[in-house]
Each structure stands twice: as structure tokens, then as C-alpha cells.
Amino acid sequence: MSVRMRAHMELLVSPHAMKCSMNNHRNVSDFNPCGYAFLADKRTFKASDWQLSGLPDGNASDAVIEWVVETKSCEKAGMNTSSYACRNNTNCNYSKNGQGYRCSCKDGFTGNPYLLPGCQDIDECADRQRYPCKGKCKNTPGNYTCSCPLGMRGDGKTGCQGFGIATIASVTGGTISLVIIGVLLYIVLRKLRKDKNFRENGGMVLKHQRVRIFGEAELAKATENYNDHKKLGEGGFGCVYKGVLPDNTQLAVKKFKGVDRAQMNEEFQHEIGMVLQVNHKNVVKLLGLCLQTKVPLLVYEFISNGTLFHHIHDKKSQVLRTWTDRLRVAAETALALEYLHSLANPPMIHGDVKTVNILLDEDGTAKMADFGASVLISPGQTDIATKIQGTFG
């Protein structure tokens, strides 16, 4: 990099020193016979005031030394990146006594501003004497941050002050109080919602019946929150999920879906009214119900061997391997229908008899299920108004 020396100065050589050099020219080179030379400001230096009998007085004249990289302005020099002298993280400074610019490192950076890669970031956190920090120091490009430790406040560069005990207690106590109030409010609102659902689902009447009332959380835990792999089957009004209680009791939970609450309550009340009348070994037994949910849940005994439909169409099934087994399942199904039509009080017509609604337990015993389409027969009634129900086809 070429550096031009510019100043109001010139090299003055004493003509007298050439004749009467002090020390007999021993301290100068042969090419310059003068005794000594110095820089002086030509505007203020007066040769007549200088006594040649000795060295020049340091106060005899003011000397000004100033240099610039180029005589261009910072803006024009910066337009040509190939010749621009200032490197990364630098400032372009103007000369105070004329045209031209010089380069300097930005605050927080150090190094040579003229050589690549330029000025480098100072790690202020490594020099706590020059860059004080009373807390946690973090270096940033050209600067640093200082945060106070947990439980203290203030500017970490100048000092940190601890919170008063009263302030800490107040903030902590207020936060804990808000959390407690929020939890209590959630519990109260949830209980009110469950109580409302219980009353609207006929709980005040059904709780006096000989049927178990299950809790919403109890059934959700038993079915693993109604996980798909727990699903036993799906019908027009809902799905049936397998559940296991903490005492290892297995059950089947019928969860309604896809219809409005008014229609759901009508379907539920119809089915629960039917099932409560039934008590037969070849009819699926109702274990209980849940009334805390918006839509009630029915809980039946779990029948482990699947549906008759499955065993008829599964060639590998051994349940119907003999005519004896087939006749037995048919007879047990007939017994269930006979009970519903003739022995139940009041009698009822199932309305949706099909192989999907006939279940088989671990012994292969037939169990009639799904009374959503059933019809009660009033005493003395001889004619029943019928309509198409169940599964088409």
C-alpha cells in the first residue's frame, strides 16, 4: 500500500553544519555530509532564531505529521472495492487538515484495518479488568452483554442487586395463588359439566336401578382413551371398544358417534330401556353405564370369541366345525329370541337379528346383542306397526 506523506513540513539542513559538523561526521553516512536534520513547520520555523552552536531546541518550532491512504472521499473510495483500503469491521475516517481518508477498527474490534481479514472481534468476557461484568458475561460481535444471576436485578456491567425478601415472597406467593385458583376453577367447572350431563342423561332415575354407574375417567383409562387397537366393532350409531378394569375385569364399551345429542339420547334411552328388561344366559348382559359424558356410554360384558358372522366366513374357524356345534348355536339363538318374544316382561322384538349381532363366548355359547332397533310389545297389543329397520339386504 503506497502511503503519501503530506504535511506542512520540509526537511531543513543547516548549511553551517556542513562546514562545522559536531562529532566530525562520525554518525552520518558518506552520502550526506550534514551534521543533523529535523522536521519543522515552514510556516512557523524561523532559521534566524536558531542558534547553530548547539542542537535545536524542542520548542523552537511546531511540527505537524499527517498522512492519508488516498485523497479520495470515503464514499468514492468505497465504490471501488479492489482499491478500497479499509477491510472488514473498520471505519473510514476523513483527514482533519485536507482531503483523503484513513482506516481504523470499529469499537469492539482490534487488528490491522488495512490487511485481510481486517479487524477481529474482541472477546470482552476474557478481560474482566477492562470490560467489567458482575454477572453472566456473553460475548457479542463488537460488544458484550452482562446479565445478573437469577434472583438479582440491575445492569450486570455496573453491579447487581438482590430482590428483597418481601418482594420474592410476594411474587412467589402471588404466582402460587394464581396456579391454585386456576386448578380449583378447572376442577369445579369439570365437576359441574359432569353433573349436568348426569342429570340430562337421566342419572337421577337410573342411579336407583340395579346397574353400575361408571366414571368417565375410569372408562377412558380402561380403553386406553378409546385407542383404535381396542376397537371391537363399528355400527351406524357408534363403536364398541374393549376395556380392562384395574381388577382385570374385561368389558365392552359402546360409544355413540356422529349424531346430535337429541337423537343420541333417544337411541340411548331406547336401548337402555330394552336391556334393563333382559336377564337371559343367551343375551349379552349390561354391566353398567356412564352418564358423565355429553353422550352416555353403555358398558356390556366382554364376549371373547367374536361374532357368528366371523366364524361362518372364516374357513379356519373350529367353532362351527361340526353339525352339532352349528345346531347348538342355532338353538341358543332361538332360545334368546323366544325369551324376548314370550318370556320377557314386557316382551320385545329385537328388530335387527343378523350374524353380526350374535356373539360367541369362549365356550362357543351364543349371545344376542345390540338392542338399538328393538320394539316393546304392550300388554294386549295384537298388531305391531312395523317399518324397515336393521341392515338393508
* In the chain, domain spans: 69-121, 126-159, 203-376
Which cell numbers hold the place of 389? 329397520
User: Binding residue per annotation — 316?
Assistant: no
d(CA 356, CA 306): 9
**Range with the largest mean pLDDT of 75-84, 181-190, 351-360, 365-374:** 351-360
pLDDT of amino acid 210: 65
Q: Could you tell me the sign of the dihedral formed by the alpha carbons of 352, 355, 357, 360, in that order?
A: positive
pTM: 0.47
Q: Using pLDDT thresholds of 50, 70 and 90, give the confidence band for residue 14.
A: very low
Instruction: Enumerate residues 6+ apart whose C-beta is below 8 A from 227.
Output: 241
Q: Which residues pair with 243 in a beta bridge?
A: 251
CATH topology classification for 203-376:
Transferase(Phosphotransferase); domain 1 (1.10.510)
Which amino acids are annotated catalytic? 352
pLDDT of amino acid 75: 85
Task: Examine residue 346 and say whether the peptide bond preceding it is cis (omega within 30 degrees of 0).
Answer: yes
Q: Which residue has the higher pLDDT, 282 or 343?
A: 282
Q: Using pLDDT thresholds of 50, 70 and 90, give the confidence band for residue 121.
A: very high
Decide if pLDDT at 150 tops 60: yes
Question: What totals of helices (H) and strands (E) does the chain contain, helices first?
Answer: 7, 22
pLDDT of amino acid 17: 39
pLDDT of amino acid 20: 43
DSSP state of 70: B
d(CA 311, CA 318): 8
Q: How many residues does the chain have?
A: 393
pLDDT of amino acid 19: 42
Decide if pLDDT at 52 tops 80: no
Decide if pLDDT at 63 tops 60: no
pLDDT of amino acid 128: 84
pLDDT of amino acid 106: 93
